[in-house]
Structure 1
Amino acid sequence: MCGICGVVQVGGVPRQVLEQETLDRMTDIMRHRGPSDRGTYLADGVALGVRRLSIVDVAGGHQPVTNEDGSVWTVHNGELYNHLELRRGLESAGHRLRSRCDTEVIPHLYERDGDSFPARLRGMFGIAVWDERRRRLVLVRDRLGIKPLYYARHEDLLVFASELKSLLQSGLVERELDYDAIDAYLTLGYFPAPLTPLAGVRKLEPGHRLVIDDEIAVERYWAYPKPQPVEMTAEEASERVLAKLEESVRLRLMSDVPLGAMLSGGIDSSLVVALMARNMSEPVKTFSVGFREDSASELADARFVAEYFGTDHTELELSFLEDAVPLDDLVWHLDEPLADLSPLGFDALCRLAAEDVTVTLSGQGADELYGGYRKHRAAWALGALGHLPGPIVRGAARVGNFGPDVVRRTARTVRANGPAERLLAMSGDVDANRRRTLFRGPLAETDGTAATRAIAAYVDGLSGDPLAETLFLDGQLALPDLMLHYFDRTSMAHSLEVRVPFLDHELVELSASIPSRYKVRRWETKVVLRQLAGELLPPRVLAKPKVGFFVGAADEWLRTRLSVAMGERLLGHQLRCEDFLDRATLDRLVTDFLERRSDAPRARLLLSVLMLETWLSSYLERASMPPVAGTT
């Protein structure tokens, strides 16, 4: 795992695009992503930088890497799990590779396959390939968006990096805010790609490449699979998923450094540990973290699973009031505001694991593939409602208009017109009334449809099955732009690589063929996983309800922070966000939440504002300052 960055000239007579000192700053502000090694390449028309976390071929895997004659250069963030197979094919075709590092196959693949080389890769990656002869750069992001890649245009230059803070270190990026993006963020709780908080910066979307020569072209090389259920029995479904999941886990055991697993005691992480245990010769190292204030702490469940599989288990119980990472530091690592407290727990877990291992496996992604959340139960129920007469459904929706927030939200979901409107009814935090009272200035001048447009970009050709549609949208929105975003940033803040076997693209493609009835059925979630896990896990794990970090403590954490130190940020002084949010309305919303009034906003809306204000007041200034050695 690494952090990459660079600048390339778009057409024209090649010239120096960056001073070495600036390239060093861009590179070294990501030291946390790669403390093992650093490398740069600077020539007319191009600058490349990389920080390396050594995982495979620790001694011989220095980057940037090149082909035999130095005409193709590569920097790479991630892991290629099929690199040995690719290497054999390249060597049989006459290519000479000098190391065992997975990155070295990339320039040779590019020589052989051109821009189609990403289709050969199985793994997680953000890649830059510089073709010296043709004066062109190819940027590539992996299919599921596990690894990040930002880019921005400045006159005849394009600047790119794994992290936004590296982009800002170039001095080539304006800090003008994107108010459409902020509208989408306040509605969804994250910035949907390609949007970012800054108007001039974009995220390369999963499954896309960016080709830069005399012009710039964004191209899709892989599409998230639409639901295409294939008729099969429940036994066939579980057999196919288990076989592909075990293959995925086995591939992700590739490492020359210590490796372990994150264990919550739930079905997803327990399945990963079970498959690791039967494919490893030594006990699996497992790690768990809990918070004393969290009534839903999973430490006891994780301990039970660890004992069942005989793992080398480490656990830690903390206090989120005393031990959680300061909010300014969390936002610094996240790069963008996110309205989710899970990163606080995941940061603590990564910090614990990094004391003993360099690589961990995680169960992330199973919920989005097989239906693990309450909204997936709701989507299943909507599908069931489709069999009721229309007047009954419409009447129930009208009655729901007069209940508390959760009832009104359910009513909006029932009467939603199409998958985009339905997802916003399930998950959105800003409706027309809230927008009218809270937004002001440049935010009030937006058309208010940014979140709708972000979702609508993916809805063409969907099946009409509410559950299948919701899973399909989750896999391209909340999964990469919220969950995988904080997975990458908080793990790399501690120089820890996290691998996600459920998000192997071949398993994702298989999952699209599994009928919805094997995902959610009569309120039971992840049906196919529970069936295949019956032979691998004890019944206690199968019966355990979905929890997740901070679920039992999120509201209380926010009330505590708003009433003490963080309260000063939203209530005590001039706010940066007052340029586009109405202060009187915001003060009233905070007070209603603290006093637990029945019409108080959901915690996530206030958390969205708190994280955004923290980003505006601390992140932007810090990201524009030269990095201090050893502190990133």
Structure 2
Amino acid sequence: MSGLCGIIKFDGSPVDRAEVERMAARAAHRGPHGIHYYYQAGVGLACLSMDPTSDGTGACRPVVAGGERVVFVADARLDNRDECQQWGSQAAVISSGTSQDGALPIDAELMLGALLADGERRPGRLVGDYAYALWDAERLELRLSRDAMGMRSLYYRVELGRVLFATEVKQILAANNAPRRLNEQAVAWHLAGMQTPPGCVFYEGIEEVKPGEEVLINMLGHVRQRTVWHPDPDKRIRYRDEREYAEHFRELIVDAMRCRLRARGRVGVSLSGGMDSGTIATVAGWLVERGESTSKVCAYSWAFNEFFGCDERENSYRMADRYGIPIHEIPAEETRPLVNDAAHEPDEDDPFMMMYQAFVSRGLSTAAADRITVMFYGDRGDMICGNFLSDIPGMLSAGLISQAYRELLLLSRIHGQSRISSVSRYILRPTIASVVPPRVISKYRRKVLWLRLLAARKDDIHAHQLRAGPGGRVGMHVRNSFLDRAKLPLQDPIYAAAAVWKQAAVRQRYICIFAPFLTRGLIYNERECAKYGIEYSDPWSDRRIAEFILACPQHYVNRATEPKRIARRAMQGIMPDDAIRSARKTSPSPLYEEALRNQAYAKVMQLITNSCCKERGYIDEVMLQKKFSDFVHGKTPYFDIWSIISLEKWLKKYWCQL
């Protein structure tokens, strides 16, 4: 991925070039193909270019228009280039000043042309992964925006008389006199299941542009935010034959892969034996076989030699062998969580880390040695068309009575519930939730919780359990005094955003697709890939796919009796039939849990003894150690300690020594 940074001074005074260069240097790995600077009165910008495209259209460099009245920088992969070129043909002629004769326009040039043609509507019609900054010297206005699915990051800081913006938080921290103040509400969100919502940054005074948002900042430093794209809650797709949904989905996922295979050289796929990464690998191989792509595909897969129940190589090879895709096996036992400290170093931007970071790093280092230019992951696939979401009311409405009955029986067995309880959970509650407005249900629940909280005010532990919203997700080891001062809201923003969807099943799907934990994971993976000079790509995170899935009847998307139903049917003829039948959801969690109990036990105890979290009043360390000990000795089957571990490592490296 490329990178951006810049300083805008509203009084037109010169920008300190050394300051911009320091900001660029903090993410220099994002510029293997050059760092391009641009300066004019009151403006200093840097583009760090990492262009994986075969035709040079993904280059990142400043673009100007209107006699330098407008300057534009973008870290982007634009998927609707033809449309943007048509829109921009009606605008002023654009010149970056660096294009070669006969070269295709870069994505940033086409984006600026579209924005100049219609700045109000066009941002919402840009399709792809991007983050951009547009400075209008005539209006003295800065516009910052980010793609709808949150695949690129963009942060900013408004100061007296100037604005700073950058791809990574650490770049802003490199600016003159940038304060370092910890945002404790972000810490509380992290401890509440690592569900830090978009827009919540771990440094006070630094803001994040949210996915699908444009931020406008004028010469007085006034900030206005507007949503430029969100899925339409009233859109519905109704086909007479279920096969048409699968055909439509197949067209979308194939096109999403085409857009992302504009790659120079070889591309990699992090391949398991499941439908998500398997779809990516086989569609890529299918496109090469048809002559639609020349990118050679390589796969990188976990090889479990001790935890055989986690191993998916048999199905991975079914998929890869069909298209002659070589697989590089990465021994899972050599990537145990926390065993190698160097493989689990937090980034300065935030404490979010994957517990399987060692595997990600090992895969990327191997891919970099293989000269891979783009690495494909199926990160959003499970949330797009899986995640155990069921829609029995929808099946009943469609007249699928016998299928709904089988679905209910299977769900009852999976969750160990009686049939009466299952009817309540999977039929009555979703039906009521589809009829009664979510705000009414939420308001009622908050009132009940508030009354119970008042009744339990003298019992600190009981009160802890009765907290509403994200505060109710934190473990008992998190101190109530910290939660009180962090002031988490009574409802997650994602649930408030989902309230506009009328059907309960679609509402749940929306929450899955745009879950904050997932969005943070995507940004984490993007940062990791950039460190190795590789572009991160997830075809499942295509807004056209998300929009389609949300408009579909959910019982055609996924069922307990046929997980990822729409994907399995769409891949017929592309993925081998035996691979489709064998694809299943397998978790590598035994590797993590075994590491906590054995190889990494001493390191975990070191992290949670006399910790920074305790010193700052975030946790009750005695209770935390007791709960961890219970987990280690098998008294509790599972204990979510990763949020504490990742936070503690981050605090120790970037805060405790300050």
State if a TM-score over 0.5 links the two structures: yes
Q: How does 1:359-508 map to 2 (within 5 A)?
A: 359-371=374-386, 373-374=387-388, 376=389, 380=391, 432=472, 438-439=478-479, 441-449=481-489, 452-465=491-504, 467-478=505-516, 480-508=518-546
Could you say which residue in structure 2 is the equivalent of 1:391? Answer: none
CA distance in 1, matches of 2:277, 2:58: 33
TM-aligned CA deviation for residue 76 of structure 1: 1.5
CA distance in 2, matches of 1:570, 1:96: 56
In the alignment, is residue 285 of structure 1 matched against residue 283 of structure 2? no
Could you say which residue in structure 2 is the equivalent of 1:5? Answer: 5
Deviations 1:80-109 (A, max 9, x none): 123355336545767355343222223333
Q: Which amino acid aligns with 1:252?
A: R
Q: Which moved more, 1:278-287 or 1:517-526?
A: 278-287
Could you say which residue in structure 2 is the equivalent of 1:541? Answer: 579
TM-aligned CA deviation for residue 324 of structure 1: 7.5
Could you say which residue in structure 1 is the equivalent of 2:460? Answer: none
CA distance in 1, matches of 2:118, 2:477: 55
Q: Which amino acid aligns with 1:7?
A: I
* Counterpart contact for 1:444–1:580, Cα < 8 Å: no
Could you say which residue in structure 1 is the equivalent of 2:267? Answer: 259
Shift in CA distance, 191/549, structure 1 to aligned 2, threshold 3 Å = same
TM-aligned CA deviation for residue 196 of structure 1: 2.0
Could you say which residue in structure 2 is the equivalent of 1:72? Answer: 70
Percent identical residues: 21
TM-aligned CA deviation for residue 433 of structure 1: 9.3
TM-aligned CA deviation for residue 496 of structure 1: 1.0
Q: Which amino acid aligns with 2:381?
A: A
Between structure 1 and structure 2, the one with the greater Rg is 2
* Counterpart contact for 1:7–1:158, Cα < 8 Å: yes
Shift in CA distance, 287/277, structure 1 to aligned 2, threshold 3 Å = closer
* Counterpart contact for 2:471–2:483, Cα < 8 Å: no
TM-aligned CA deviation for residue 513 of structure 1: 1.6
Give 3-state SS (helix, strand or coil) of 1:278's partner. Answer: helix
Gaps of 5+ in 2: 405-411, 447-464
How many residue pairs get aligned? The number is: 590
Q: Which moved more, 1:98-107 or 1:489-498?
A: 98-107
In the alignment, is residue 152 of structure 1 matched against residue 157 of structure 2? yes
* Counterpart contact for 2:28–2:48, Cα < 8 Å: yes
* Counterpart contact for 1:191–1:481, Cα < 8 Å: no
TM-aligned CA deviation for residue 115 of structure 1: 4.4
Give 3-state SS (helix, strand or coil) of 2:492's partner. Answer: helix
Could you say which residue in structure 1 is the equivalent of 2:346? Answer: 332
* Counterpart contact for 1:265–1:302, Cα < 8 Å: yes
Q: Which amino acid aligns with 1:79?
A: R
* Counterpart contact for 1:148–1:485, Cα < 8 Å: yes
TM-aligned CA deviation for residue 618 of structure 1: 0.9
Could you say which residue in structure 1 is the equivalent of 2:457? Answer: none
Q: Which amino acid aligns with 1:301?
A: N
* Counterpart contact for 2:78–2:127, Cα < 8 Å: yes
Could you say which residue in structure 2 is the equivalent of 1:110? Answer: 115
CA distance in 2, matches of 1:488, 1:531: 30
Shift in CA distance, 445/608, structure 1 to aligned 2, threshold 3 Å = same
CA distance in 2, matches of 1:78, 1:325: 36
Deviations 1:368-421 (A, max 9, x none): 2212x24x25xx479899999xxxxxxx9xx999xxxxx9xx99x989986978
Deviations 1:198-252 (A, max 9, x none): 2322321110011112321111100134374433221111111111222222222
Give 3-state SS (helix, strand or coil) of 1:457's partner. Answer: helix
Q: Which amino acid aligns with 1:438?
A: V
Q: Which moved more, 1:337-346 or 1:185-194?
A: 337-346
CA distance in 1, matches of 2:584, 2:67: 54
Shift in CA distance, 557/54, structure 1 to aligned 2, threshold 3 Å = same
Q: Which amino acid aligns with 1:611?
A: S
Higher relative contact order (CA 8 A, sep 6+): 1
CA distance in 1, matches of 2:152, 2:374: 15
| RMSD of equivalent CA atoms | 3.8
Could you say which residue in structure 2 is the equivalent of 1:571? Answer: 609
Aligned match of 2:366 in 352, 356, 374?
A: 352
CA distance in 1, matches of 2:495, 2:322: 45
* Counterpart contact for 1:576–1:617, Cα < 8 Å: no
Could you say which residue in structure 2 is the equivalent of 1:552? Answer: 590
CA distance in 2, matches of 1:173, 1:433: 33
Aligned match of 2:652 in 611, 617, 621?
A: 617
Could you say which residue in structure 1 is the equivalent of 2:408? Answer: none
Deviations 1:147-167 (A, max 9, x none): 111223333333222112212
TM-aligned CA deviation for residue 343 of structure 1: 3.9
Shift in CA distance, 341/618, structure 1 to aligned 2, threshold 3 Å = same
* Counterpart contact for 1:154–1:172, Cα < 8 Å: no
CA distance in 2, matches of 1:21, 1:551: 47
Could you say which residue in structure 2 is the equivalent of 1:83? Answer: 81
CA distance in 1, matches of 2:382, 2:627: 32
Q: Which amino acid aligns with 1:538?
A: P
Could you say which residue in structure 1 is the equivalent of 2:454? Answer: none
TM-score by length of 1: 0.82
TM-score by length of 2: 0.79
CA distance in 2, matches of 1:455, 1:60: 32
* Counterpart contact for 2:92–2:116, Cα < 8 Å: no
Give 3-state SS (helix, strand or coil) of 1:160's partner. Answer: strand
Deviations 1:517-561 (A, max 9, x none): 112224422111111222222233223354467333222233346
Give 3-state SS (helix, strand or coil) of 2:298's partner. Answer: strand
In the alignment, is residue 224 of structure 1 matched against residue 231 of structure 2? yes
In the alignment, is residue 593 of structure 1 matched against residue 631 of structure 2? yes
TM-aligned CA deviation for residue 133 of structure 1: 2.7
Q: How does 1:84-99 map to 2 (within 5 A)?
A: 84-87=82-85, 90=88, 95=93, 97=95, 98=99, 99=103
TM-aligned CA deviation for residue 448 of structure 1: 4.5
* Counterpart contact for 2:148–2:229, Cα < 8 Å: yes
CA distance in 1, matches of 2:586, 2:353: 15
Could you say which residue in structure 1 is the equivalent of 2:331? Answer: 317
Give 3-state SS (helix, strand or coil) of 2:110's partner. Answer: helix
* Counterpart contact for 2:23–2:174, Cα < 8 Å: yes
CA distance in 2, matches of 1:324, 1:497: 26
CA distance in 2, matches of 1:245, 1:7: 39
CA distance in 1, matches of 2:469, 2:593: 15
Deviations 1:498-527 (A, max 9, x none): 222222222222222211111222442211
* Counterpart contact for 1:249–1:275, Cα < 8 Å: yes
Give 3-state SS (helix, strand or coil) of 2:19's partner. Answer: helix
Q: Which amino acid aligns with 1:189?
A: M
